[in-house]
């Protein structure tokens, strides 16, 4: 009886070693992905329900609808697989604002400057130490002929300052001996128009608001602390004294660091399946809300703690009005 129990224990122990050896030899092995996808049609009417049919198996399935979001934000532009890793984009950065000049006796009292190497310390010493490029000649500024009608700046292309952090600054300078000008700036918008070509050679255009007004701007006094820029959520204003004996003024209002062509990566529309979910035969996403041609992408993966295999299956879907 004892011998039989020992034999049984020995047999179990040997079997355990074999199983452990098998697991050890295959711990890095990931099964090949057999996942496939098709749809019941390739053309649909707006609002139609779409059924995607799955075949085979995958541990994880992620769905990209190929759409741009209705309202782009700093955290999301769309659900397009080809832009899932895009952080910088080609395109144009356009600055627009409006200006109003009063007491227009002194010329060139307002300038717009840009710096790539300002260190973000908002004091006179660090402003002077930075390199600033004057781009005032790209703008249309109020000439003071009207004291109540704002002048649009025009669409100012500042794309040449992309690919790194930049700071924008409005510099006010006026001298004593005559009334000093007053400036009011509003409707400030810095927008990046991202242009990319997806894997189907379709041109995509994404509009991303980079900056408006407050809290982007900070005022810094250089000369004459009695006057300085006023920053609100609706305008930047420098209201100097009209008294001719007012001392010389130099004041700056500087933006925070801005990245003109940095864009958020596109995100999946939905995670369809995780490892613990059973494999499904069909998937019905919400209907599309706009007509157009969409490249639908399903990213399927098998994975363990040390390895992963991934395939992407794509379909071209057209939505008509």
Domain ranges for the chain:
36-83+267-320, 90-259
**Cα within 13 Å of Cα(295), Cβ side:** 17
Which CATH topology does 36-83+267-320 take? Immunoglobulin-like (2.60.40)
Buried b (16+ CB within 10 A) or exposed e, 138-160: ebebbebeeeeebbebeebebee
Task: Give me the pLDDT at residue 28, please.
Answer: 65
Task: Give me the pLDDT at residue 214, please.
Answer: 55
Residue among 226, 220, 223, 225 nearest 252 (CA) = 220
pTM: predicted TM-score of the whole model, two decimal places: 0.74
Residue among 104, 107, 129 nearest 119 (CA) = 129
pLDDT at 193 over 60: yes
For residue range 124-150, list pLDDT tens digits in order: 999 999 999 999 999 999 999 998 999
Beta strand 60-64 pairing with 151-152: unpaired
**Cα–Cα–Cα angle for 80, 84, 87, nearest 5°?**
120
Task: Give me the pLDDT at residue 287, please.
Answer: 95
For residue range 60-113, list pLDDT tens digits in order: 999 999 998 887 777 888 999 999 998 888 888 999 999 999 988 888 999 999
Task: Give me the pLDDT at residue 19, please.
Answer: 40
Query: Which one has a higher pLDDT value, 105 or 167?
Result: 167
Rounded CA-CA distance 318/288 in Å is 10
For tokens 């006023």, the residue is 230
Residue 71 Cα to chain centre, angstroms: 12
For residue range 7-48, list pLDDT tens digits in order: 343 343 334 334 434 444 455 688 899 999 999 899 999 999
């Amino acid at each position: 009886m004892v011998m039989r129990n020992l034999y049984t224990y020995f047999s179990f122990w040997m079997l355990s070693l074999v199983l452990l050896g098998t697991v050890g030899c295959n711990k890095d092995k990931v099964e090949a992905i057999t996942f496939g996808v098709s749809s019941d049609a390739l053309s649909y009417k707006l609002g139609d329900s779409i059924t995607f049919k799955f075949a085979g198996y995958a541990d994880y399935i992620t769905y990209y609808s190929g759409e741009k979001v209705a309202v782009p934000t700093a955290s999301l532009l769309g659900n397009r697989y080809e832009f899932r890793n895009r952080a910088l984009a080609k395109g144009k950065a356009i600055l627009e604002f409006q200006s109003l000049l009063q007491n227009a006796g002194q010329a060139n009292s307002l300038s717009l400057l840009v710096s790539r190497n300002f260190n973000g310390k908002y004091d006179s010493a660090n402003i002077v130490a930075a390199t600033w490029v004057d781009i005032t000649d790209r703008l249309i500024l109020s000439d003071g002929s009207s004291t109540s009608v704002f002048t649009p700046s025009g669409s100012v292309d500042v794309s040449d300052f992309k690919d790194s952090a930049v700071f924008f600054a409005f510099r006010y300078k006026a001298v004593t001996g005559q009334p000093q000008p007053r400036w009011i700036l509003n409707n400030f918008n810095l927008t990046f128009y991202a242009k990319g070509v997806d894997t189907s050679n379709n041109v995509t255009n994404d509009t991303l608001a980079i900056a408006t007004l407050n809290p982007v701007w900070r005022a810094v006094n250089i000369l004459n602390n009695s006057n300085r820029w006023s920053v609100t959520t609706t305008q930047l204003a420098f209201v100097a004294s009209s008294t001719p004996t007012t001392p010389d003024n130099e004041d700056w209002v500087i933006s925070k660091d801005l990245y003109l062509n940095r864009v958020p990566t596109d995100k999946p529309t939905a995670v369809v399946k995780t490892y613990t979910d059973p494999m499904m035969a069909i998937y019905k996403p919400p209907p599309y809300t706009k007509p157009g041609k969409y490249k639908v992408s399903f990213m399927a993966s098998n994975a363990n703690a040390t390895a992963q295999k991934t395939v992407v299956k794509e379909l071209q879907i057209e939505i008509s009005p």
